[in-house]
Structure 1
């Protein structure tokens, strides 16, 4: 309790006792204690309980006071003390429950002034222990505690005699609009003669700080029902609001991640099934091409079929990239070199009216990436920038640089890989001076299947997220309507060395003519693979699942020279089938096929290849 408030209370009573939550006296004063009422004098009161302070005759009344104040109510009673006269005792507990104030004074004839002072005291304590203001009916501050002065950015003495709408501070609604004087909480209480509770406002203080405050206030009325005083408590809830905002943002991000995880699982499954179908289509088309004469008229139609299948294959690869399950062949690469390698494709992607500026930095550190996937990301980003330009064209820039990224940078990113850590990152920036995006579009731009373009499928940027997450990177987005957009993709710097540039001499091998076992649960894939291998001169056995594959291998073990094994199958998985094949024949060549990125688990097996 502030010394100013304590002096104000002592000015209203002959004696003030301040008790803590345990009922122990923490302050007594300012006058000596009547010996017939108290067991000790004021100098020895601190540290004593009520039962140790007061004479036994008052114990029952004091227990009633304790019960009332424990419920948050004020208490009042009067009593005779022989020749000492009649006394009044008032007790009020603070809203926090931390302090109880007992005021004792000699009973005097009732007066409007004493009733008003008691009402002011009760309202001060019941409103709270934050910033306390007492105002007269004109809106002038006649009392303010230290907390009130701190909230407003002034010294306590500077507040007294100022009006509530002083130019030293400004009150705003939460939407940023300055609060009209007529709608200020002080005016609301003054005009309605009713209290206000938890009115939230923004406040520009005298020392230039913007705060969020919660206002509670109540009128003190005289016998005629007119306002004599206004009592307000004000809490600085800036940090509390920031914490709530942070929790809400984290909850939104968690919900977004959960949706993305669900969609990625769905996308991965759908893409895998489509991939199997496309394998059959492309394999069948290749087989037909081998069977047709070079000048056969059906070749033109076959090329159209292959082009359509390849476009569908690109779409499934983007779905797999979004799901994080596409096949990655990761190695140390220079991002600037990759940008230069794709420059011709980038020029072909953008509109003829667009000006494409490439500014890859020299001497960038290496990053561990899948060159094919990140190359596709670069093309997706440039194509997206080209489509964002306004009619008449514009400028697209592709920049690479190395930056130091701190934890705050990662927190401010729109997407961050699970294992992303502060440190050095190589950043790809793709900017355009197009129309930019309003906040509601920017919030959804990475959502799968969301597109503002009639011809868009909404997978380009969603696939970017999948690739960046798989590379433990981050994505930042800066956009402003009418100005343009910048995407920044960060990839962590690697400590690996660049691969040797030595040319490896590869000797030509004789065509394979052995017996092959194909194990795949997709009949379409089995049929096409069998025909391709038979056309190449191989003998082929097929099996529709893992159990049938093991049974077929056991039956033809001596003649089977190699196995083509699908990794994703019901009943017995491809990994379990491979383990059993390795137990039976450790050196048997096995080609594992999968649309998912499972190659790493076979890296230690020289007789196994991944397709």
Structure 2
């Protein structure tokens, strides 16, 4: 902020110089010195100071009060300095409307506070004047339409705003019955309002009504109509109308956006809950699935208990599938990201899809040639396709119908209408699943992605919730169109990948004859997980050491770093998390920088995965896993 410049008007030179020194000590600039009222006016006009300190008594000629009137007319505030405090002087001073009044002698503190208050008051007054000028300009150039009607409802006056609101030139509709300008469906409302208004002179009524633009399109206006039939010079009904078409559309858009935000917040909260439940259940299922798998390995093939153990393992696997659906809904169910060809993925699933659809359904494929790849988790996307195909088959019921899968490309962006998710920016790859089934009512369509909402008697209501979670995890969106008794179409929008080729992955199958050797460190806070992992690895010839938190895991590693061949590391632990342990291992140049690490978790998060990849290539095993899964991953990590 620039330094305030003050003009001193004082006829005594010694007092003026003393005042100048005081002002400079207080941090003000002195624009000039004047000793007469006439000189004060000239210097004020020339120097344009921020404030004028004016002595009332200036000797012969114009006094300070008269000079102050003319200076303040130039837009500069004046503070009086005087040795007089009599009522007559005070009365004259008040008439000039000064911004302050200081009695001599005064101290520096009083001078400073008076100047600051005067500057503040003047600044506030200037801002107020500017605001008033702006408001006056707005009112004088208002875009509202003013129309005056006679008792019969004909236009006798129309303001210039008719040009931009309705497209008619000024005066073009004079003498026209205003009902001709009303949208046909709203003419009954208009007649009722005007009939009521005409009965009561001096009253006003507000209404919203559609009027016809000159080009024939309807415009929604908000009108305040006043009965001035008995007002001399008016003798009519004055209508002040404002075009609110865009405002009303904006309100509708805002309501739609708020609804989407509320839905997103609800889904986010439920997603966090679902992810936490799935994580805890997966840790619990580890003990069931792992020990059942170990028992099956130890029993002879003809042992009758194997059948019961197998049923336990199957039940645990089904429970794990359910928790995976919860993870998918929460958006935390994908980890292995790779370039994917959607058309190849669907081709590979064709025989499987044929087995899940109704016998009366005909499955069709329509793929654009030369489709770009997407980035995603193939397992999760297969689940999405299976869920949509299953729903399409259920929609057909016992009727003969058609289910089609189409894959193509389209340009999308923030304005692309979607029922759920955020549309990708730029070229997107879409996958459509369309059926000719029963379709859905609008109120059903609004709820289809809610967890536990289902129209099936035996359903859990997690299928489409999982689809939404997976699509959110893939930064995609979903469009849905449906008509009762005509069918439903789901369109999934995926961001295009910058990759141009698909990586072929290979993993060795478990081998019962395999025998490993060396020390493996298992770090996990769940006793059931440590027990299953230890028993499995020891069965295959490894020596195992365990730790139940990250801090103890690091201590165990450093105690035997030269012997540790692999670290099986849980991501979510107390004291130190798996990520913190991994960061500590990779921070130095010793054995921890190169030791293979197999990460494991009750849920896998794409966000965590992205963070952990900075530590180099990593392997991941999602809980719950069976002994064979663990051994297979260990062999891959060890290159065996």
Scaled by the length of structure 2, the TM-score of the pair is: 0.68
Pair 1:514-2:524 in alignment: no
Q: Which residue of 2 aligns with 1:332?
A: 339
* Cα distance change of structure 1 residues 337 and 245 upon mapping to structure 2, 3 Å threshold: same
Q: Which residue of 2 aligns with 1:130?
A: 144
SS in 2 for 1:448: coil
1:214-248: per-residue Cα shift (whole Å, max 9, x none)? 0111101439x9x9421111111112222222333
Q: Which residue of 2 aligns with 1:488?
A: 491
Which of 183, 189, 192 does residue 197 from structure 2 map onto?
189
1:142-164: per-residue Cα shift (whole Å, max 9, x none)? 22223236534444444222223
Which of 148, 153, 160 does residue 146 from structure 1 map onto?
160
How far apart in 2 are the matches of 1:506 and 1:170? 74
Which of 620, 627, 637 does residue 610 from structure 1 map onto?
620
Pair 1:214-2:222 in alignment: yes
Pair 1:287-2:301 in alignment: no
5 Å-filtered alignment, 1:588-599, equals 588-594=595-601, 595-597=603-605, 598-599=608-609
**Are 1:140 and 1:162, in contact at CA under 8 Å, matched by a contact in 2?**
yes
Q: Which residue of 1 aligns with 2:366?
A: 359
Pair 1:463-2:466 in alignment: yes
How far apart in 1 are the matches of 2:412 and 2:458? 37
Deviation at 1:498, TM superposition (A): 1.0
Deviation at 1:336, TM superposition (A): 1.0
Deviation at 1:544, TM superposition (A): 1.6
Q: Which residue of 1 aligns with 2:591?
A: 585
- Comparing 456-465 and 179-188, the one that deviates more: 179-188
How far apart in 2 are the matches of 1:330 and 1:100? 60
How far apart in 1 are the matches of 2:339 and 2:559? 45
Deviation at 1:388, TM superposition (A): 2.3
How far apart in 2 are the matches of 1:548 and 1:533? 20
* Cα distance change of structure 1 residues 147 and 556 upon mapping to structure 2, 3 Å threshold: same
How far apart in 2 are the matches of 1:238 and 1:545? 63
Runs of 5+ consecutive residues of structure 1 not aligned to the other structure: 1-50, 52-92, 102-124, 173-177
SS in 2 for 1:375: helix
5 Å-filtered alignment, 1:419-498, equals 420-422=424-426, 424-498=427-501
Deviation at 1:489, TM superposition (A): 0.8
SS in 1 for 2:478: strand
How far apart in 1 are the matches of 2:274 and 2:506? 39
Q: Which residue of 1 aligns with 2:418?
A: 413
Pair 1:571-2:575 in alignment: yes
How far apart in 1 are the matches of 2:229 and 2:171? 26
SS in 2 for 1:364: coil
* Cα distance change of structure 1 residues 442 and 94 upon mapping to structure 2, 3 Å threshold: farther
SS in 2 for 1:263: helix
How far apart in 1 are the matches of 2:568 and 2:505? 32
1:161-187: per-residue Cα shift (whole Å, max 9, x none)? 222322x54155xxxxx4515654323
How far apart in 2 are the matches of 1:520 and 1:369? 28
**Are 1:542 and 1:549, in contact at CA under 8 Å, matched by a contact in 2?**
yes
**Are 1:154 and 1:207, in contact at CA under 8 Å, matched by a contact in 2?**
no
Q: Which residue of 2 aligns with 1:180?
A: 188
**Are 1:589 and 1:607, in contact at CA under 8 Å, matched by a contact in 2?**
no
Which of 530, 548, 552 does residue 548 from structure 1 map onto?
552
Which of 228, 235, 246 does residue 253 from structure 2 map onto?
246
Deviation at 1:531, TM superposition (A): 1.9
SS in 2 for 1:563: strand
* Cα distance change of structure 1 residues 95 and 444 upon mapping to structure 2, 3 Å threshold: farther
- Comparing 533-542 and 130-139, the one that deviates more: 533-542
**Higher-helix-fraction structure:** 2
Q: Which residue of 2 aligns with 1:372?
A: 379
**Are 2:146 and 2:158, in contact at CA under 8 Å, matched by a contact in 1?**
yes
Pair 1:170-2:183 in alignment: yes
How far apart in 2 are the matches of 1:552 and 1:504? 30
Report the number of matched residues.
483
* Cα distance change of structure 1 residues 385 and 543 upon mapping to structure 2, 3 Å threshold: same
Q: Which residue of 1 aligns with 2:242?
A: 235
Deviation at 1:278, TM superposition (A): 2.1
- Comparing 501-510 and 385-394, the one that deviates more: 501-510
How far apart in 1 are the matches of 2:387 and 2:448? 13
* Cα distance change of structure 1 residues 407 and 554 upon mapping to structure 2, 3 Å threshold: closer
Pair 1:264-2:271 in alignment: yes
SS in 1 for 2:358: coil
* Cα distance change of structure 1 residues 183 and 483 upon mapping to structure 2, 3 Å threshold: farther
How far apart in 2 are the matches of 1:459 and 1:507? 32
**Are 2:334 and 2:470, in contact at CA under 8 Å, matched by a contact in 1?**
no
**Are 2:150 and 2:236, in contact at CA under 8 Å, matched by a contact in 1?**
yes
Q: Which residue of 1 aligns with 2:409?
A: 402
1:560-584: per-residue Cα shift (whole Å, max 9, x none)? 4432111111111112222334446
SS in 2 for 1:200: strand
Which of 273, 293, 304 does residue 297 from structure 1 map onto?
304
Deviation at 1:357, TM superposition (A): 1.9
Q: Which residue of 1 aligns with 2:173?
A: 159
* Cα distance change of structure 1 residues 397 and 204 upon mapping to structure 2, 3 Å threshold: farther
Deviation at 1:195, TM superposition (A): 3.7
* Cα distance change of structure 1 residues 187 and 289 upon mapping to structure 2, 3 Å threshold: same
5 Å-filtered alignment, 1:60-139, equals 97-98=136-137, 130-139=144-153
* Cα distance change of structure 1 residues 570 and 500 upon mapping to structure 2, 3 Å threshold: closer
Which of 344, 357, 368 does residue 350 from structure 1 map onto?
357
How far apart in 2 are the matches of 1:607 and 1:343? 33
Runs of 5+ consecutive residues of structure 2 not aligned to the other structure: 1-72, 74-131, 622-640
**Are 2:397 and 2:437, in contact at CA under 8 Å, matched by a contact in 1?**
yes
Q: Which residue of 2 aligns with 1:57?
A: none
Pair 1:536-2:558 in alignment: no
* Cα distance change of structure 1 residues 416 and 502 upon mapping to structure 2, 3 Å threshold: closer
